Structure 1
Amino acid sequence: MSRHVIIRSQRRISEDISTGLAEAGSSTVHEADGRRGSLGPALTPILAGKAIAGSAVTVSCHPGDNLMIHAAVEQVRPGDIVVVTTTSPSTDGMFGDLLATSLRARGAIGVILDAGVRDVAGLREMGFPVWARAVSTQGTVKASPGSVNVPIVVGGQVIHPGDAVVADDDGVVVVPHGRAAAVLEAARRRTATEESKRERLAAGELGLDMYDLRPLLARLGVEYVDES
């Protein structure tokens, strides 16, 4: 029989790192970490305009069963993001406004759900951000064992408890705990560089010239032809 555990993990990223990663945004963090960590386009936000970053509390559930999300609430600390997956693909509505209320009381700032979400209107009214694979009325039970704060896989990415999670309108990115500080510094450098480029583009400079792309077009055999 498989072992099911609830690990009382102490590993967290600092508040300063969380704040910085949220300000940088998921796309910049993804680029700054060598284009790693994206959980893919299947996870979409139910609440536009939210940008969060925090430490992962990981949850592995049986499909159609949200028992372990309830168990995970006890392990949440302020600033955490709960990341939920199922042991086989599921789009059942495993999370709604009641669980969000419970998580918010513990200080959770959002949920990443590799399954279905429901009570969307209530969650939007609460302003509680969720990124989910589907929106579904389909309910769940509370009957099957799973685990909390164990390594899980979402969107092809391995997520450990305490890893940094960054989520916004562009999607969700995970950064391993040990790389979070370095990735933040790289993201800040990238942001500064992009601001300089933004100013040049706003002044009318072409990307073809700023990125020195004309020689590349020539090497690829692209020709300019004047219309007769």
Structure 2
Amino acid sequence: MKAVVVTDPPKASLDDADRLSACGLSTVHEACGRRGYLGPRMRPVWPGARIAGTAVTALCWPGDNWMIHVAVEQCGPGGTLVVATNSPCSDGLFGELLATSLGARGVRGVVLACGARDVAELQAMGFPAWSTAVSAQGSVKATLGSVNGPVVVEGQLVHPGDVIVADDGVVCVARADVPRAVTVSQARLEREERNRKRFQAGELGLDVYGMRGELQRLGLRYINHREWAAGEDV
């Protein structure tokens, strides 16, 4: 993409983002057909963080965080900054001072396909960040990238205005699919709550999920120890 900043990309509803946040990443990911997950390398830099917001995207060169500074101006309340690099990078392109600037603009968190630094400070601030690395390696400001264009993070395409849901990991919900995602995620959450009550009452997953018939069809047998010792399980 050319060195441009798109100043007014369309965005998903923040109310819908809040509804997805209440459902949680795992529920949203499963309900949406297991799409949009940024994978196990994308981890919270401090435990317990949980957000959902609309994506502002920045594409940087490895070791260069200039476009993050440019992107801050495009961020506002409810936003989540998503940073990609045009080749692999683990340098710490984001830390406390950038978080302070974003926090002052009402940004909910950052997702970094690179390194984060100042982890203790980020946790003390309560500023949520997810990254593929933690690194004290610093950065330069020398090469232009772009802001608010499509980026690829851990194999997933992210457009500005998509909803980013993050807790134990990160999932991206395409802007056009957000209303449907809210509906199916809330339905799944309600179903999980019904199942939770059954588990609390002592029922087994075998019965809650109706597994016994299929296990029997596939040939699973129950035998006692005498039968097992006599080789009768063969």
> Is TM > 0.5 for Structure 1 vs Structure 2?
yes
Distance in 1 of aligned mates of 2:141 and 2:218: 59
Which residue in 2 is equivalent to 1:73? 72
The structure that has the greater radius of gyration is: 2
Contact 2:14–2:54 (8 Å) recurs in 1: no
Give 1:1-228 correspondences, 5 Å limit.
3-168=2-167, 170-228=168-226
SS in 1 for 2:178: helix
Distance in 2 of aligned mates of 1:133 and 1:92: 10
Distance in 2 of aligned mates of 1:84 and 1:219: 49
Distance in 2 of aligned mates of 1:117 and 1:202: 40
Distance in 1 of aligned mates of 2:151 and 2:64: 17
Task: Write the deviation string for residues 61-105 of structure 1: whole angstroms up to 9, x where unpaired.
Answer: 000000000000000010100000110111000000000011111
Distance in 2 of aligned mates of 1:220 and 1:141: 59
**How far does residue 210 in structure 1 lie from its aligned partner after superposition?**
1.7
Query: Identity, % of aligned pairs?
Result: 53
Q: TM-score, normalised by structure 1?
A: 0.96
After superposing the two structures, state which structure 1 stretch, 60-69 or 103-112, moved more.
Answer: 103-112
Task: Write the deviation string for residues 100-126 of structure 1: whole angstroms up to 9, x where unpaired.
Answer: 011111211100001100011111111
Letter in 2 for 1:18: A
Displaced runs of 4 or more, over 4 A: none
Distance in 2 of aligned mates of 1:191 and 1:22: 12
Letter in 1 for 2:155: G
Distance in 1 of aligned mates of 2:214 and 2:155: 33
Contact 1:23–1:51 (8 Å) recurs in 2: no
Distance in 1 of aligned mates of 2:76 and 2:146: 18
Task: Write the deviation string for residues 112-156 of structure 1: whole angstroms up to 9, x where unpaired.
Answer: 001100011111111101000011011110101100000001121
Distance in 2 of aligned mates of 1:33 and 1:9: 27
Letter in 1 for 2:81: V
**How far does residue 42 in structure 1 lie from its aligned partner after superposition?**
0.3
Q: Which runs of no fewer than 5 residues in structure 1 stay unpaired?
A: none
Distance in 2 of aligned mates of 1:22 and 1:198: 20
Q: Which runs of no fewer than 5 residues in structure 2 stay unpaired?
A: 227-234
**How far does residue 15 in structure 1 lie from its aligned partner after superposition?**
2.3
**How far does residue 221 in structure 1 lie from its aligned partner after superposition?**
2.2
Q: TM-score, normalised by structure 2?
A: 0.94
Aligned length: 226
SS in 1 for 2:137: coil
Contact 2:23–2:185 (8 Å) recurs in 1: yes
Distance in 2 of aligned mates of 1:128 and 1:51: 10
Distance in 2 of aligned mates of 1:85 and 1:123: 20
Distance in 2 of aligned mates of 1:106 and 1:139: 24
SS in 2 for 1:153: strand
